[in-house]
Structure 1
Amino acid sequence: MLYSWRPCCFPRSDNLHSIRYIQRGKSGIVRTAKKTASRNVIGVGSVVACLFISGCTTLADLQKPDMKIANIWHATLPHDGRTGDLVSWWSDSFDPSLTALITAAQAKNPSLETAEAEIGKARATLASAQASLFPGLGGSGSLTHSGTGGDKANRVAVATTASGSLDASWEIDLFGKTRQKSEAARFRVHERVADWHDARVSLAAEVADYYVQYRACRQLERVYTAELASQSETIQAMETAETSGFTSSADLALGRAGVASSASTLTAQRAECEILVKSLARLTGGDEPHVRNLLVKGKSGIPTPKTLKLSAVPADALRQRPDINALELEIAASLAEVGAAKADLYPSLSLGGSVTINSSKLMGTSLPWSFGPALSIPLFDGGLRRAAVGSATAAYDAAVAAYKSGVLDAVAEVETALVRIDGTRRRIGDSTVAARSYRAYFNAVDSNWKAGGASLLDREDARRLAQLAEVSLIEVRRDSVRYWIALYKALGGGWNANVVSPKALQQKSKENLL
């Protein structure tokens, strides 16, 4: 069956969330086509099809992107793969300090301001494109005093001449060039809004990731601090025993080397924690005292997410990503530009008219006027218009390729995050047993050393193994939460297309007042 497509109920708001189209067959039967999870091709086909606007321009030679998406995840699903919508899960799962940091970042981070500025720029481009659909009217006026001086025979009295004119012009959009340029600009507005949502998701995930790293960093700092304090007490006891001849100078030197090494490790760890504080301050607007105050008030442990509900269908997950939505819209905008370039190959018709009023003491009053159509036919331009079509088509092909790459990357990100979450979940149990066992082993060796049954070297080896096991457990727990954050971001970060930017809210408020 052959199909023709036309857009139906296209949303005019900046928050493009769903698009519906009407599909018409040769028999004239009309039915609504919606994007569903069971389809192998995600909604780009519908978005592309809507650009086949009525007119003489044909785009049949352009192929729609054909992306086959699996209907299951190939990695192990957390929480048994329960389905549901994503929400801002750190608000319930993490401590209030993290929520406050993310809120501050959303309000003050320059990257979101840049994204909002891009939305404003796209809106201005749309307004410019839409203005071409309407007639233009301009006016001019002049007032002139003139005369001639000199001899009485040549002298002419001062005269006043006044004139005013109105000029109107309108290019009739016969083949849809202006309409399709306007549609391309409209898609780009929605695309910039999707980019803004994507920036919000990325920023929230980055703040959460740094926060988790900071909490783990402080836990490691406490481990190194406690170990250094224990070693310092041991050295004091060894120094007392060394003066009495119960401890050799070699053991004392070994003990002091261990203390110096632990102190160096602790210093490096504290520096890493400070760097993370600086990173959080940069993301949240640069108010470092405020960031430090929030970190002090927060929970000391590594935050653990409770339940993140995961959609079991990859196609559903991709529809939750604003960056994939932006790639779809770029395809639609590029296709509209191809249509506009092809429409430029055909003649253009415009209407023009003018009215002029001239008033002068010498010549009296006159009212010339003119009105009529003008037809412009492209005969020979050296291939300029054909080159424009080729450039627009290449841009469309690039947009399709970018979309395919984005879809593959999105699926890979989710699958990778799922594998890592499953791996760290399994490792946490083993790491916990290892840390507990190595600590028990050290306690036994330490008691034996104090009783004189083990050397200091054996004790240092046992201490090092116990410390490494505890550090490994903290790092595994940290990485586990970081992978949850990566999964949250890969699934779209709870993107809500109904959320609008602060500047958009201000603009709507002004419009309501007017």
Structure 2
Amino acid sequence: MISMALKLRQGASHLCLLSVGLALSACVAVGPDPYGEPQIQLANTFVDSKGTSAGNVAVNSFWTEYHDNTLDNLVSRGLAQNLDIIAAKERINAAEADLRGLSPLSSQLFGNTNVARQRGGSDGGPTYTNTTSALGASFVFDLFGGAQRARQGGRARYLSAETQVETTRLAWLAELIAAYSDARYNQQALTLTRSTIKGREGTLQIAQDKLEVGTGNAYDVAQAEALLQTAKADLPVFEAQFNAQVFRIATLLNEPSGPLLGKLQLGAPPLRIPAGPGTGVPADLLRNRPDVLSAQLNLSAAVAEVGVATADLLPSISLTGQVTDISSATSWSFGPQLSLPIFNQGLLRATRDRRASEAKQAEIAWRQSVSSAVEDVQTAQSNLRRYKQRVATLDQAANSYTKAYELALENYQAGSLDLLNLLDADRSRIAAQLSAAAARNDAAKAWSVLQISIGTGANAPSV
């Protein structure tokens, strides 16, 4: 740096005139303007969807469509207590503090005081105290908009921190709803298994009665007993899976698991599969998906850094003043300082080129986030449609197997069907019922995944 300092001993009016003149000489901010909304080519509609915008779905509390009061209560508590969400909100405070530290006019205030006791003369004269105080200030003018670009970048990072909270909310909602749905499915599986155990106990009793009257045999009794014990062995598996999901929910809520386990053990129906709403159009993702918005804001911040690095290549002017008090004498000085970055141009240009490359990388990351968001929606939409079809088919299969089992039981009691065929019908019935329940659980979770993939609930209030 080559600096030129002019020390002027003039009145306060001269200082004000010089400050105004420097401010009026400021140039437009250098470097590219941060993006408001970068452009990207998107399809008019999703595959197998109508071309109708979904609007601002980010404010919709989609989980209420399940019509499950317990789930609503869990979401309400969790949104206020989850540690991941709290940590994400704290990052907003950090970004806000960084933003407050950026100013269009960089300033610095400094001062010091020195106190020394001295003895006059070599013959041990009187001792006196010598006090020196100095107070100074320096103001750097934003001639080429470097500080302005820094504030634009800080603002973008602050807004990005806000969208990251919304991204964290959606990820948390996905986990909570999946865990709750799995817990209710395992409860339904327990109910089906207990019903199966009751039915197989009846089958065993029939086999034993036939053995006693001489129309049956011990082999049939042993088979009936084995199938009964197999059903009983399934109970601990479903119970363990239910408990694991409740423990997961407790962690997501940042609550003790004991009271929650007792509450959910009371039971409730599995989650229903809500209808709609539509997926909207791909362009909706640019305003509703918080991760896409975050990537866009990161791009704006990166572009602003290019402006900061470009401004560093250019001259800067600062006003520096100092007031010094030595014992009873007071002096002051004031002067502008011109800084010309000549000998470090290579390093500064390399920094600017790096910032330009980082901005390009941020643009690529934004485009990737948009493409991934579109893929998420299309995959979730396809899964939900196919899962619903599977539910309908498996429900029909479960009904058919139940009827077949009932007929087989009647024929076995009447003696026109052997036990082996009855047990086969029983196994097919329970397998079909569990498969239908699992498919319904998958579809209920897929509906939630679809809503989250289009950004629904990112900024919704809790129930």
Distance 1:471 1:136 in 2: 72
Q: Which of the residues 390, 398, 422 maps onto 1:435?
A: 398
Q: Matches of 2:73 and 2:166 in 1, distance apart? A: 19
- 1:136 match: secondary structure: strand
Aligned residues: 433
| Cα deviation code 1:225-278 (max 9, x no counterpart) | 110222133224434544554432322222222122212222211111111111
Structure 1 residue 112 corresponds to structure 2 residue 75:
no
Task: Identify the residue that residue 356 of structure 1 maps to in structure 2.
Answer: 324
The one of 106, 123, 141 equivalent to 2:113 is 141
2: CA distance, partners of 1:54 / 1:247: 103
Structure 1 residue 408, shift from structure 2 partner: 0.8
CA shift, 1:135, in A, is 2.4
Q: Which residues of 2 match residues 6-405 of structure 1 at below 5 A?
A: 55=28, 57-59=30-32, 66-76=39-49, 83-86=54-57, 87-130=60-103, 133-147=105-119, 154-242=123-211, 245-296=214-265, 300-304=268-272, 306-310=274-278, 312-359=280-327, 365-381=328-344, 383-405=346-368
TM-score by length of 2: 0.86
> Retained in 2: the 8 A contact 1:277–1:292?
yes
Cα distance 1:56–1:120, how it changes in 2: closer, same or farther (>3 A)? closer
Deviations 1:170-190 (A, max 9, x none): 111111112111210111000
State the AA in 2 paired with 1:484. W
- 1:65 deviates by 5.5
Write the letter of the residue equivalent to 1:286: E
SS at match of 2:138: strand
Single out whichever of 384-393 and 227-236 deviates more from structure 2. 227-236
Q: Are 1:449 and 2:398 matched, yes or no?
A: no
Mark the CA change 1:318 to 1:310 in structure 2 (over 3 Å): closer, same or farther.
Answer: farther
Q: Secondary structure at the match of 2:216?
A: coil
Counterpart position of 1:469: 432
User: Kindly tell me: are residues 451 and 140 of structure 1, through their superposed partners in 2, closer, same or farther at Cα, counting changes over 3 Å?
Assistant: same
- What is the percentage of aligned positions where both structures have the same residue? 28
Q: Which structure features the higher share of helix residues?
A: 2
In structure 2, list runs of 5 or more residues that go unmatched. Answer: 1-25
Contact 2:102–2:147 (Cα < 8 Å) also in 1: yes
1:228 counterpart letter in structure 2 = I
**Other structure's SS at 2:319 match:** strand
RMSD: 2.6
Cα–Cα, structure 1 residues 351 and 54, in superposed 2: closer, same or farther, change >3 Å?
Answer: closer
SS, match of residue 479 in structure 1 = helix
Give the 3-state SS of the residue equivalent to 1:355 in structure 2.
strand
Q: Quick one: distance in 1 between partners of 2:259 and 2:71? A: 13
State how far apart, in whole Å, the 1-side matches of 2:322 and 2:89 are: 42
Code of the residue aligned with 2:289 in structure 1: it is R
CA-CA distance at 1:71 after TM superposition: 1.4
Contact persistence 2:159–2:297 (CA under 8 A): yes
Note if contact 1:104-1:285 (Cα within 8 Å) is conserved in structure 2: no
Name the aligned partner's letter for residue 438 of structure 2.
Answer: E
Measure the CA separation in 2 of the matches of 1:260 and 1:66.
64
